[in-house]
Structure 1
Amino acid sequence: MTAADPTPTGRSITLEAEGVRAELGTVAAVLRGLTVHGIAVTEPLPADSTPPMAAGIVLAPWPNRVRDAAWTLDGDRQQLDITEVSRSNAIHGLLRNTDYEVRAQSPDAVTLGALIPSQHGWPFLLDTWVRYELRPDGLAVTHGVANHSGRPAPHAVGAHPYFRIGATPVEQLRLTVSASTYYEVDDRMNPLAEHPVEGTAYDLRAGVPLADLALDTPFGGVAPGIAAQLTAPDGARVELLHDADWRYLQVFTAREFPRPAGRGLAVALEPMTAAPDALNSGDGLRWLGSGERWEGGWAVRYVPGPR
């Protein structure tokens, strides 16, 4: 592992072993790039600018949105800071601008940690961490949390990687999502209802060309194993693998994702342990007792096409 001077994404960290390379930054514990035997499987992000469209960052202690940046705890309204101003929501947790500390490191793994102190709308103290570990075919990511509050605390976590398969244009990839439900959302992207995907345009279980999709959609009913995969015309594929606690996935097809060659289509596949607005709905939200810890994770696997 190598580390360099600070940048807008924090201290740069490189993990490399057996042909797999991960580029990381300590701000928001961002995954800036992942290559497997020279094939880029995530959108590469520069170190010298803020990640566009939340690319690669960790989302804690909730992923996605909190409606009106408000929720209720024991009958009392909790008012978070509004961080999605255009929609009057709180988005992607409390750590997206936080510089994590390096707690453990080796050539093929690193653990980054950050405290979430008590603040507006959040009367708790959580210690959080994320471990990135190379595997021969990709990357394993383990998230953890410990509740240091004197009371039970809610928690959910997610991540925001954008995936690709080498130089293959994203429009040529086929997306498969192993989800049994999707969430209908309003014009502020807050959930209204959960519906079965069966018989709808949101049923992606058989695979759909990305060129045909325009999504910023939460999915539920994701079983452990392969939550989603992208497949290239030559049969190569990138798989997003979920542990048992990761039953939700946000799919976002960004049509104006910035790249050095110009803006274009990119796809975020966002593993989540809870649904959008879980602080209000409780859907997938985990409550940790005082002193309680939790860990769970997801992984990325690259599978070459047939030779």
Structure 2
Amino acid sequence: MSGIPRRPRSGTQFTLTSGDYRAVVASVGATLRSLTHAGRNLVVPFDSENIRPAYRGANLAPWPNRLADGAYSFDGEQQQLPINEVLRMTALHGLVLWNEWEPRSQAPDSVTLGAIIEPQTGYPHRLDLQVRFELSAAGLDWRITATNIGAGVGPAPYGVAPHPYLVAGSGTVDTWTLQLPAAKVLQVTADRLLPTELADVATHDGGYFDFQHPRTLGAAEIDHAYTALSPADAAGVTAASAEAGPEVAVRLVAAGGSGVLMRWNPRTLPWVQIHTADTASPETNRIGLAVEPMTCPPDAFNSGTDLIALGAGERHEASWVIAAL
């Protein structure tokens, strides 16, 4: 139809630049479509005309990860959400994956986008979400703010995470070295990846999940949540203000020495999902490592572990930084 303006399938594009950093954000899902430093990819990108593949650069709210059977009870009410991961019968990664987010402010090095979660079957709450991407010499600061703007219902269950696939350099995950300062890993069922129990990474399964000291990923296949995160010491590059406290730093380094860093405050985000991106297609298999800092673990709407109850008028903010090494 000639009267309809042409628009990429991933939505309106917002290009940010600062020094050697460049990022592109797409309005559908407020998605980080690409991030480069001096022309080198720091995340797995995708084309603006593509529908976002494999949750690359997505914002996961009002819950990250899996919710068993899409069912939960909160504040005395039983709820049922739609199933969008049919093979595992779970509600996966929240309600704003495909929303059109509207720009609220924009500058050459930053953009802020907003969306509303309207009350709906399974989630009878109204939340205002705002995501801000800002580039600087320190990398990409990516933060999400949620405000409960509903009335007449109780507090809203809430959790949040991002879903970037980090790229260390040339090659695949197999040849990259990971440093992940996490002492515990959440074990999951083989068929549905639903949580069972916490285990010590140093002793469980012969240290298979232990990356507290830098180690090449090799053939390891991981799709697990980690916790008991250890902040960087004073000598690390991730020192935060005294008020915010020290940050956790995850480092991913390629054989050639290039790499990427992701850091955040573990008091706000005490969990992180790590996924080695194992797929059946050679074109996408293990081409990036998903690093997803989370406020809560999988199925938190049922377990209640680290679940946020966002009261009317209350606000929650979480942030993380992605930077070149």
Could you say which residue in structure 2 is the equivalent of 1:121? Answer: 122
Q: Distance in 2 between matches of 1:31 and 1:257?
A: 24
Could you say which residue in structure 1 is the equivalent of 2:278? Answer: 255
Query: Which of these residues, 197, 202, 219, is aligned with residue 198 of structure 1?
Result: 202
Could you say which residue in structure 2 is the equivalent of 1:185? Answer: 188
> Are 2:129 and 1:165 aligned?
no
Q: Report Cα offsets for 1:91-146 as digits up to 9, x if no partner.
A: 00001111111111100001111101111110110001110000214201111010
Partners of 2:262 and 2:322 within 8 A in 1: yes
Task: Give the counterpart letter for 1:297 in structure 2.
Answer: S
Q: Report Cα offsets for 1:164-220 as digits up to 9, x if no partner.
A: 134344332111111121111112111111222222321111122122310111111
Further displaced range: 106-115 or 221-230: 221-230
Displacement of 1:241 in angstroms is 0.3
Displacement of 1:263 in angstroms is 3.5
Q: Distance in 2 between matches of 1:160 and 1:40?
A: 16
* TM-aligned CA distance change 1:227 to 1:249, over 3 Å: farther
Displacement of 1:33 in angstroms is 0.8
Q: Distance in 2 between matches of 1:99 and 1:257?
A: 30
| Structure 1 residue runs without a partner (length 5+) | none
Could you say which residue in structure 2 is the equivalent of 1:242? Answer: 264
> Are 2:223 and 1:219 aligned?
no
Task: Give the counterpart letter for 2:318 in structure 1.
Answer: G
Q: Distance in 2 between matches of 1:141 and 1:203?
A: 27
Partners of 2:74 and 2:157 within 8 A in 1: no
Q: Distance in 2 between matches of 1:191 and 1:169?
A: 28
Partners of 1:250 and 1:271 within 8 A in 2: yes
Task: Give the counterpart letter for 2:251 in structure 1.
Answer: Q
Partners of 2:167 and 2:259 within 8 A in 1: no
Could you say which residue in structure 1 is the equivalent of 2:94? Answer: 93
Partners of 1:39 and 1:165 within 8 A in 2: no
3-state DSSP class of the match of 1:280?
Answer: helix
Partners of 2:185 and 2:227 within 8 A in 1: yes
Q: Distance in 2 between matches of 1:178 and 1:6?
A: 42
* TM-aligned CA distance change 1:34 to 1:45, over 3 Å: same
> Are 2:286 and 1:265 aligned?
yes
Partners of 1:155 and 1:287 within 8 A in 2: yes
Could you say which residue in structure 2 is the equivalent of 1:40? Answer: 41
Q: Distance in 2 between matches of 1:42 and 1:185?
A: 26
Could you say which residue in structure 1 is the equivalent of 2:242? Answer: none
Further displaced range: 62-71 or 165-174: 165-174
Partners of 1:223 and 1:247 within 8 A in 2: no
The alignment of Structure 1 onto Structure 2 pairs a total of residues equal to 298
| Structure 2 residue runs without a partner (length 5+) | 232-246
Q: Report Cα offsets for 1:64-87 as digits up to 9, x if no partner.
A: 011110000233210011111111
Q: Report Cα offsets for 1:27-63 as digits up to 9, x if no partner.
A: 1111111011222111111111112111111000000
Indicate the percent of aligned positions where both proteins have the same amino acid: 36
Would you identify which runs of 4 or more consecutive aligned residues in structure 1 move more than 4 Å? none
3-state DSSP class of the match of 2:174?
Answer: helix
* TM-aligned CA distance change 1:130 to 1:258, over 3 Å: farther
The TM-score with structure 1 as length reference comes to 0.92
3-state DSSP class of the match of 1:171?
Answer: helix
Q: Distance in 2 between matches of 1:171 and 1:54?
A: 21
Could you say which residue in structure 1 is the equivalent of 2:179? Answer: 176
Q: Distance in 1 between matches of 2:71 and 2:7?
A: 34
Which has the larger strand fraction? 1
- 1:125-164 equivalences in 2 (<5 Å): 125-150=126-151, 151-164=154-167
The TM-score with structure 2 as length reference comes to 0.87
> Are 2:20 and 1:13 aligned?
no
3-state DSSP class of the match of 1:86?
Answer: helix
Task: Give the counterpart letter for 2:285 in structure 1.
Answer: G
